[in-house]
Amino acid sequence: MIEVDAGVERVMIVGVQTDRYEEDQFEEMMQEMVDLAQTAQGKVVCQVRQKLPHLDHRYAVGPGKLEEIKLALDHHRIDLVIFFNPLSPSMNRSIETVLQVRVIDRVQLILDIFALRAKSMEGQLQVSLAQYEYLLPRITGQGKMLSRLGGGIGTRGPGETQLESDRRHIRSQITHIKRSLDDVANHRERTRSKRQRSREFNIGLVGYTNAGKSTIMHQLTGTDTYVQDQLFATLDPLTRQFSINGHPVFTLTDTVGFIEELPTELIEAFKSTLEEIRYLDLLLHVVDASNPAHTMHEETVLRILRDLEVDHLPILTVYNKSDCLNQPFNPTISPNVLISAKNDQDMERLKEAIWRMCLEEAEEYSVRIRPEDADRIAIYQQRTLVTSLEFNEEENYYQVSGFRKLFIVD
């Protein structure tokens, strides 16, 4: 028997490979399930797989496989069964009745990790909303199980007492959270409008979870962000200013990591946060080049960007973690840059790539400034990418040339 630390839940992962999944895709996503469970502080001690055209309408798996799972529970001393496939409320209850152990699915597992990671008030509100809306149709039959187990993976966020309350109370909580989020969204909109009116080049980091976005954020801006080799290491959006070639006119916004089949509940709850992407000037699509499933990750992120209707924005694909590559890498998306966020020279190459793309999207300008208005030169230097500053002695004026966003410096 495998011994684990006291208090760590022993987890069994169950996955059904239906016709919608190719073999390689299913294997990658099952490995991702292991990573997710470990991120949620569980210990995966066994996995059960089955291949079916579609999920069994009652138990997700076939009756024979369900008996196999039941026998394995005692043998491996399982505390929690996590299904890769999304379970309907009736499926969840039927499986728990047979197995007599707590059962959650991938959606609830991801919600749980988000509850673990959210630090800001907005992040916590968003996660609570997603959890309440997911759990509302599952309240029946959950109370007894939650009381008996007293917490664990899949129960973080809204407390036990709240989850055992009647539906009317849960709905009132949802209404209250939505109102609070509306207030936060209004504040975010004011901040966003102010940023849009500025002359800064607003850049956003997007990518599959654990691609290295937070490390790049830290390297470019010097911000103390939470950097760990974990899924969903950071949730709360963060915007910081940074300089390229001595020009402090760039802002960088970190966003929540994407994942294959991101739960609808999360997309809806994080709508105001994800909408930050709409108002950016350039997206840095960070890809873990060392991950065998990087192509699938690329496709997932691009699909989500299309769903958010932001795929029209300029995108620079940043293939990260080149230091972990064991063989030559062939990028599949252009324009791109291959880097290791841990390498200072690579980060300089990334800055130059950002610089070039911003120039492509900017407006070229050239203005004359009289000596008595020389203080305006500093404004141009602060708000635009000044590439040339010369003084014409014969006609007594400064010639300032460079690139700027479409807003005109007065």
Binding-site residue numbers for GTP are 207-214, 232-236, 254-257, 320-323, 340-342
* Cα 360 from Cα 355, distance rounded (Å): 9
Could you count the other beta carbons within 10 Å of the beta carbon of residue 84?
23
What is the residue type of 157? G
Q: Which of 23, 75, 74 is nearest to 49 (CA)?
A: 23
What are the contacts of 380-383 at 24+ separation with CB within 8 A? 380/409, 381/247, 382/248, 382/249, 383/198, 383/199, 383/200, 383/249, 383/409
Beta strands in 31-156 (DSSP E): 42-51, 80-83, 102-105
Q: Which of 24, 11, 56 is nearest to 296 (CA)?
A: 24
* Residue numbering of the annotated binding site for Mg(2+): 214, 234
Query: How far is the CA of 250 from the CAs of 65, 242, 351, 408, in angstroms?
Result: 55, 5, 11, 17
* Residue numbering of the annotated binding site: 207-214, 232-236, 254-257, 320-323, 340-342
Tokens linked to 379: 């404004």
Q: Is 109 helix (H, G, I), strand (E, B) or coil?
A: helix
Q: Is 49 helix (H, G, I), strand (E, B) or coil?
A: strand
* Cα 83 from Cα 256, distance rounded (Å): 24
Q: Is 258 exposed, middle or buried (0-12, 13-18, 19+ CB in 10 A)?
A: buried
Q: Which of 402, 39, 360, 33 is nearest to 230 (CA)?
A: 39
Beta-carbon contacts of 74 under 8 Å, excluding residues fewer than 6 positions away, are: none
What is the residue type of 299? E
